[in-house]
Structure 1
């Protein structure tokens, strides 16, 4: 045994527990000697190069040690990767949004101004990063210290052929009616944005010309809302043609955020409703009533947007037909849902 082999044995065994170190060192020394002898006898190497060639054939000592000790050299291997991915996507789909919404609502209640939006987004991002870190850490520990049950990926996920997705038309036979309903409601919303400009306030039994939304919003924000309505219509057609998927669900989350964040910001800044409309209703409200209505308005915008976003994520989970976890949309037999 030369110094080169000694160095290889040291590199291969230094990270192992003491109880395994001696046994692996002995087995490796015998394997190296046999490989050297075999290479020389076969003529694959000369006596001078046989040792180095044998070590090259054995490969990186850390990888060899990992194979002996059954310690994977990956953070999360294939056995747990799909479970980790599905759980992480599911948790990231709503927990950061809920945290951001709750933060925004609390800041509005405490009298916060425009900084509400930035603070809520920052909290949502922080929660998302922590969530990804801790979920990944837990699965990395499971991967590292798995006792080895011999189960494969299918056993770990509890996968069966019954969990295969249905064909689109069989899975959602009423997609056309969903599309029609969505387009009708979007048309109503677009019509309302135009109609409100001509006044929706009744004074003395007659409609006044006082607009609900501030006419100054026509410079940008009302056209922006019309653009969102057009994007929502295109999205509804996409769902009709392709059905729900995780990509569609994430686009739905983005569209809801694109609506809720500017509306709340404009409301908090006092730029959403027209001054004429506020002047008409404020004499009929005291400070407590204004505060309650403000909180209810913000909560309603966040609640409706969050509900629609989560509903899309649940539909994506159901549509994928790969449920392996206990959450709405799971179709795994062990969850008791079909």
Structure 2
């Protein structure tokens, strides 16, 4: 049994209760082997392509698992369930956050204060609810009034074995480089938080003792950010060890929110930057430039944290692995092991 078959079995059994997982995995492994042998014996496939062709013949592992476990995939009917679920997860992963960020930028531009955060969260939740409702309604209508227009779920999804998720227990080489990169950037961020207190402004070619961030933040918020950086480092190490799953994706969303919300709030309230630093740069900026820079800062923080949160959700949805935000499926290279 090769890694491709292992990935197929993992994709088929990962959502099942532990009590059913081993039995189904064993039954599916036997069925895959029998299908491979039958294709080779009949001449339908060569020994080199038989495994891939057998998995294509068996079809989407989620559909196959549902048929084995007597667990129908039902929205209104099973024909469109997987398409609806995949599209819903994909859209919910970024549309509400994008709309909320755009709304927050608009409110900031119009002169809003700290209440921008609450309003943006409310807008994002409203968009998420409406998106789920209307998407479900559209699929229900399609299912009801055009039952003959669609083929099997595999045809609608365009599923191929190349989209199988990577096995979570496989130590892929990129994960070590991801861990090192994360730790390096977090270390730079921690050093910067401390170093900026001693001054980052150059006057007359010499560094002046003017901090970037308000010294008052050392009473709580800067230690809070340093603790958050330590938690991010621990989380990066945990991802290296355990890979992505839904629980880790949720933790990643919480960590990003724990950074973005306080930083944006402090900036909007005028408590983030030190008065000394503002006094030095204000003479060089007019009102329009200040507003543009403010929007860029808030938008940049929101965009980076939202992107990182979405990336974790996408990786979890694919069962772990490097993953990118291309859609659908994890088209990682196929590796065959004897």
Normalising by structure 1, what TM-score?
0.68
Q: Which runs of 5+ in 1 are unaligned?
A: 1-71
| Structure 1 residues 285 and 147: alpha-carbon distance in aligned structure 2, compared to 1, 3 A threshold | closer
CA distance in 1, matches of 2:295, 2:154: 48
Larger radius of gyration: 1
CA contact (8 A) 1:256 1:305 kept: yes
Per-residue CA deviation, residues 47-99 of structure 1 (Å, 9 max, x unaligned), is xxxxxxxxxxxxxxxxxxxxxxxxx9x75343333322221111111000000
The alpha carbon displacement at 1:273 in A equals 0.5
Match of 2:69 in 1: none
Q: Which runs of 5+ in 2 are unaligned?
A: 1-71
CA distance in 1, matches of 2:328, 2:172: 16
The alpha carbon displacement at 1:158 in A equals 4.2
CA distance in 2, matches of 1:171, 1:134: 41
CA distance in 1, matches of 2:149, 2:118: 47
Match of 1:330 in 2: 328
Normalising by structure 2, what TM-score?
0.68
CA contact (8 A) 2:256 2:308 kept: yes
CA distance in 2, matches of 1:272, 1:95: 29
CA contact (8 A) 2:214 2:271 kept: yes
Alignment of 1:1-338 (within 5 A): 75-148=75-148, 153-154=153-154, 156-168=156-168, 172-319=172-319, 328-331=326-329
CA distance in 1, matches of 2:78, 2:235: 34
The alpha carbon displacement at 1:313 in A equals 3.6
CA contact (8 A) 2:167 2:320 kept: no
| Structure 1 residues 231 and 332: alpha-carbon distance in aligned structure 2, compared to 1, 3 A threshold | closer
Higher mean C-alpha displacement, 97-106 vs 78-87: 78-87
Per-residue CA deviation, residues 116-147 of structure 1 (Å, 9 max, x unaligned), is 11111111111011011111112222333342
Per-residue CA deviation, residues 169-223 of structure 1 (Å, 9 max, x unaligned), is 7684221111011111111111111111122122222222221111221222212
CA distance in 2, matches of 1:304, 1:232: 15
- SS state of the match for residue 262, structure 1? helix
Aligned residues: 259
CA contact (8 A) 1:317 1:330 kept: no
- SS state of the match for residue 80, structure 2? helix
| Structure 1 residues 289 and 138: alpha-carbon distance in aligned structure 2, compared to 1, 3 A threshold | same
CA distance in 2, matches of 1:76, 1:173: 43
CA distance in 2, matches of 1:272, 1:150: 55
CA contact (8 A) 2:212 2:274 kept: yes
- SS state of the match for residue 113, structure 1? coil
- SS state of the match for residue 78, structure 1? coil
